[in-house]
Chains A and B, each alone.
Chain A
């Protein structure tokens, strides 16, 4: 009797379905790591490698010639398109800094200052508009406002503030910066907002209690504890900025060409190797920026322990 019951418990039930046993045997990391690596390399990494390789090929009479050549890269440098890369990097970094300076105080207020829950959710909803409204339709409106016959110039002239229309408002670097501002604001605000909202009010109060003024609390407590969010905000803002093409196209008027535009026009002219080379430049610049970012933040703070600290 006893031996029977013992064998019952020790031997696994033979009727358990095979699929179920297989699933039970899989731990999350054993499943997640291979699935992620496989799908990510198929979806993202492989096309990236193809793009880089493609930039060393040529298209002749609408057919790809599979002979490695540096022609595309040479023409890229000769035609002065490297200036575009520099400009893209400059505008991308400037805009990231501007967005950070605007978004941090805003996120701080939204997370800690705004007491009304309704108001907070309304603002968060409003911030998602750039995600669901098409960029071209949002941006094109600015032409009729910033243009020489636009609303601002008409208003300024009828008020007698200026005699002639201000022409740098549209089709200029100013206009491109202005157009990029709204599109990339939410991607900077959201991560910073999340990380500041996660900071327990007790830390801020403890800081005050120990004698730190508002500015000291901001720089000693809030800023370092919000660093993961700030880094995420920079990444999520800088990356799309490097590939922006709608705003420079519609508001730059051909004077402010960015890499995104160049890729776009190259594709339209069916110059695939040129598009591939330009995309490679974008990816390389981004990689460079991210490496610098990681080095700078790691010098000051250990990110892994930062997240552990937030989790408490």
Chain B
């Protein structure tokens, strides 16, 4: 049914080997295109999610990730869409209030004129559920987010983290098939964010609910997701499990977004198996091809190496799978747990991460890295 190349086998969740083989997807967005006032926000985007999956849509602001979420929830009507199915049911013409999904909004959007309890109950109240049952279920949801004693509080009496939890409880109470989270941790401070990441993940596992999570933080995406969809300017740049996105970015954009510090342009001179032979100036290097399409010799490519995979040495090591470049030492930036050492090479300025600060003494004469750590990808 789904012949789109994006629906490759990588879409199966990797963290749950125990879960059954891919059943019918709970969410299917096929070929969605949307524009605001002539500016394209989404272009032919296809996304599917398996039941119980934690799917993260990652991208910078303006990449179309919130638009995608709003199309799913029904708050935005797509300009053109091939299909939009929730649990196998076509919902293209179904208004937002009849769709089986709820949203945790970025600014929470908690109703200021209602108490915490009334906010959490809201989804049940509009479904005509009796007051007593509403109250019980709302209390259970508040217990789930550890706010059981806040039932009668007013919204403006809560802190940012508490509001976030109330918003989560409110969205969970109607027991939707899919929970949509729009950068829910964006407004929280660092410590609280890390705690909430863990809590959200545990909650999702316990409830077995499908989470579609939007964030611009690669760290958040890597920590929480079964699968990541990286978006760029309304299109899907790359999708796959966190390890794939982290280790094998397909393009220099994906690499930079996933925090690859050293990126430079090169020319592809040849391919043998998964090895890619490249040339930068007079230097010949070897790396692993990780782009989408099979590469052609002579093509322009991008090369990325993570700072922690670069080694500095006084004498050049030798080996078949090693890349070695002569370098001149530059400044060092102290980062607490580690030290970032800047070095100058003929190819590009590079950054090497040194975990043992005492090893940073001395002037390196060359920088080297393994073939497997050298990502060759689309520019």
Contacts and interface: CB of A to CB of B under 8 A. Distances in A.
Interface of A: 200, 202-203, 205-214, 216-217, 220-221, 224-225, 301, 305-306, 308-310, 312
A220 B119 CA distance: 11
Interface stretch (B99-107, B217-225, B285-293): B99-107
A212 B109 contact: no
A218 B260 CA distance: 50
B127 A211 contact: yes
Contacts of B73: 209
B109 A211 contact: no
Interface in B40-86: 73-75
A210 B126 contact: yes
B109 A202 contact: yes
B137 interface: no
A206 B113 contact: no
Nearest to B107: A202
Interface in B323-348: none
Contact of A206 (B74, B98, B109, B154): B109
Contact of A212 (B75, B97, B105, B171): B97
Nearest to B126: A212
Contact of A208 (B96, B113, B170): B96
A224 B155 CA distance: 15
B105 A202 contact: yes
Given A202-B107, A309-B156, A211 B113 contact: no
Contacts of B112: 203, 225, 308-310, 312
B111 interface: yes
A137 B75 CA distance: 48
7 contacts: A202-B109, A205-B105, A209-B96, A210-B171, A211-B98, A309-B113, A310-B112
Interface in B124-178: 125-127, 154-156, 170-171, 174
Given A210-B171, A213-B97, A312 B156 contact: yes
Contacts of A217: 97
B379 to A, nearest CB: 40
Interface of B: 73-75, 95-98, 102-103, 105, 107, 109-113, 122-123, 125-127, 154-156, 170-171, 174
Contacts of A305: 113, 154, 156
Contacts of B110: 206
Contacts of A206: 103, 105, 109-111
Contacts of A213: 97, 126
Contacts of B102: 209-211
Contacts of B126: 207, 210-213, 216, 220
Given A202-B105, A211-B126, A305-B154, A225 B113 contact: yes
Contacts of B74: 208-209
B113 A224 contact: yes
A306 B123 CA distance: 22
A211 B173 CA distance: 11
A200 B108 CA distance: 12
B155 A309 contact: yes
Contacts of B107: 202
Residue with the highest number of chain B CB atoms closer than 10 Å, among A211, A301, A309: A211
Contact of B123 (A200, A202, A210, A221): A210
A290 to B, nearest CB: 22
A220 B97 contact: no
- 7 smallest beta-carbon distances between A and B, as pairs: A309-B112, A206-B109, A202-B109, A212-B126, A210-B123, A208-B96, A208-B97
A312 to B, nearest CB: 6
Contacts of B98: 211
A225 B110 CA distance: 13
A203 B109 contact: yes
B84 to A, nearest CB: 16
A210 B122 contact: yes
A224 B122 CA distance: 14
B179 to A, nearest CB: 11
Contacts of B122: 207, 210, 212, 220
Contacts of B105: 202, 205-206
A205 B182 CA distance: 13
Given A207-B122, A211-B97, A301-B113, 12 more contacts: A206-B110, A209-B73, A209-B74, A210-B171, A211-B126, A213-B126, A221-B111, A225-B112, A305-B113, A305-B154, A309-B155, A309-B156
A247 to B, nearest CB: 37
A86 B95 CA distance: 49
A220 B126 CA distance: 9
Contacts of A205: 75, 96, 105, 109
A140 B156 CA distance: 52
Contacts of B113: 224-225, 301, 305-306, 309
A112 to B, nearest CB: 14
A147 to B, nearest CB: 49
Contacts of A209: 73-75, 96-97, 102-103
A206 B106 CA distance: 11
A239 to B, nearest CB: 26
A214 B98 CA distance: 11
A192 to B, nearest CB: 16
B180 to A, nearest CB: 8
A216 to B, nearest CB: 5
Nearest to B98: A211
A311 to B, nearest CB: 9
